[in-house]
């Protein structure tokens, strides 16, 4: 563990040191470790082990002892701890394999782990330096950081990242799909009613524009019902659909000889 209690600043709000000395020895809470590498580094420091020459068997035993107190870690994290346990055991097995010649230094099976530990150790050390910076900066209020006092002001133009944009897009999509559900539940359009409406329009105006009519339809469902009705009217020869030219709008006319309209109704 890389944060010695003596160096933690006095304003520390949560205890970072994972261990407290008691007469019985060390009591360690697993949940204070950021992860398996953190735990390993702690053990290596505690046992005063040279990181470049780790006694894998001993450290594995210690490591597994801590894992046994796993009541305090949740399953997600447990997998990560177990992964490193498996890695330790794998390394040990590699070291036990009999070989014809001695391994060169760069072939040490421990190297993978050592490099990861060294890198992680650097990140941890950098963290303690960055934390010091954060502790100073956090006390210096800049105008930029000042949040509005009451509620959220939407008026301030802010630079949006791709992340912001995509998030608001998904929010919109969600809201839209909620709207959609409401529309479908809210209004029922029956074929019968629609048919009467269409015939009414045709009687009055003799003709209507296919596309215009659809655009006026409030919901997808209504548009679908209208479409079925028009097909039905054309089929039963009450109306005729005419298109002057390819890609032109389609006009629906009432047939002059539509005596069957009454019959149909």
Partner 1 sequence: MNSPLKNIVESLIFVSQEPLTLERMQAVLEGVPAADIQAAVDELVADTAADGRGVQIIHVGGGWLFSTKPAFDREVRRLLQIERKNRLSSAGLETLAAIAYRQPVTQAEVSAIRGVDSTSSLKTLLEKSLIKIVGRKKAPGNPLVYRTSDEFLLYLGLNGLDELPSEEEIAKILQEEKAADA
- Please classify residue 104 by burial: count the beta carbons closer than 10 Å to its beta carbon, then call 0-12 exposed, 13-18 middle and 19+ buried: exposed
Residue (of 36, 96, 32) closest to 64 by Cα position: 36
Do 78 and 72 contact (CB within 8 A), yes or no?
no
For 246, the token pair is: 């390819």
Task: Say whether residue 31 binds partner 1 (CB under 8 A).
Answer: no
x/- contact string, 156-175, with partner 1 (CB under 8 A)? -----xxx------------
Helix axes 75-96, 36-46, angle to 10 degrees: 60
Applying the rule CB under 8 A, the residues between 84 and 103 that interact with partner 1 are: 84
Applying the rule CB under 8 A, the residues between 104 and 123 that interact with partner 1 are: 116, 119-123
Do 170 and 215 contact (CB within 8 A), yes or no?
no
Do 221 and 193 contact (CB within 8 A), yes or no?
no
Task: Say whether residue 21 binds partner 1 (CB under 8 A).
Answer: no
Applying the rule CB under 8 A, the residues between 186 and 215 that interact with partner 1 are: none
For 250, the token pair is: 């389609």
Residue (of 119, 113, 136) closest to 11 by Cα position: 136
Task: Say whether residue 155 binds partner 1 (CB under 8 A).
Answer: no
Task: Say whether residue 151 binds partner 1 (CB under 8 A).
Answer: no
Q: Is the torsion defined by CA of 181, 187, 193, 199 positive or negative? A: negative
State which residue, 122 or 203, has the beta carbon closest to partner 1.
122
- Report in angstroms how near the CB of residue 136 gets to partner 1 at its nearest: 7
- Report in angstroms how near the CB of residue 194 gets to partner 1 at its nearest: 48
Query: How far apart are the C-alpha atoms of 58 and 47, rounded to whole Å?
Result: 10
- Report in angstroms how near the CB of residue 66 gets to partner 1 at its nearest: 15
| Residue of 149, 155, 178, 246 interacting with partner 1 (CB under 8 A) | 149
Task: Say whether residue 20 binds partner 1 (CB under 8 A).
Answer: no
Q: What are phi and psi of 263, to 5 degrees?
A: -60, -40
Task: Say whether residue 4 binds partner 1 (CB under 8 A).
Answer: yes
| Residue of 103, 138, 173, 241 interacting with partner 1 (CB under 8 A) | 138
For 56, the token pair is: 């894998």
| Residue of 99, 144, 185, 235 interacting with partner 1 (CB under 8 A) | 144
Task: Say whether residue 137 binds partner 1 (CB under 8 A).
Answer: yes
State which residue, 106 or 143, has the beta carbon closest to partner 1.
143
Residues engaged in binding partner 1 (CB under 8 A) = 2, 4, 6-7, 13, 16, 34-38, 45, 48, 76-77, 80, 83-84, 116, 119-131, 133-144, 146-147, 149, 161-163
């Amino acid at each position: 563990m890389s944060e010695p209690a003596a160096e933690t600043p006095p304003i520390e709000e949560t205890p970072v040191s994972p261990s407290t000395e008691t007469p019985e020895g060390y009591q360690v809470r697993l949940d204070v470790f950021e992860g398996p590498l953190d735990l390993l580094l702690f053990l290596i420091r505690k046992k005063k082990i040279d990181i470049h020459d780790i006694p894998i068997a001993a450290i594995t035993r210690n490591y597994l002892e801590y894992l046994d107190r796993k009541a305090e870690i949740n399953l997600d994290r447990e997998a990560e701890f177990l992964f490193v346990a498996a890695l330790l055991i794998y390394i040990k097995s590699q070291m036990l394999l009999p070989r014809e010649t001695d391994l060169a230094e760069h072939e040490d099976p421990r190297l993978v782990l050592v490099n990861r530990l060294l890198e992680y150790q650097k990140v941890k050390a950098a963290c303690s330096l960055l934390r010091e910076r954060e502790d100073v900066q956090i006390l210096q209020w800049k105008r930029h950081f000042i949040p509005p006092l009451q509620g959220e002001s939407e008026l301030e133009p802010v630079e949006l990242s791709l992340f912001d944009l995509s998030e608001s897009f998904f929010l919109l999509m969600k809201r839209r799909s909620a709207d959609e559900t409401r529309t479908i539940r809210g209004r029922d359009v029956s074929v019968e009613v629609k048919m009467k409406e269409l015939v009414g329009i045709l009687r009055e105006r003799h003709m209507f524009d296919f596309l215009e009519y659809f655009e006026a339809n409030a919901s997808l469902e209504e548009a679908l019902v209208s479409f079925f009705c028009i097909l039905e009217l054309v089929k039963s020869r009450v109306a005729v659909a005419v298109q002057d030219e390819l890609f032109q709008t389609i006009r629906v006319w009432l047939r002059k000889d539509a005596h069957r309209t009454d019959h149909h109704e």
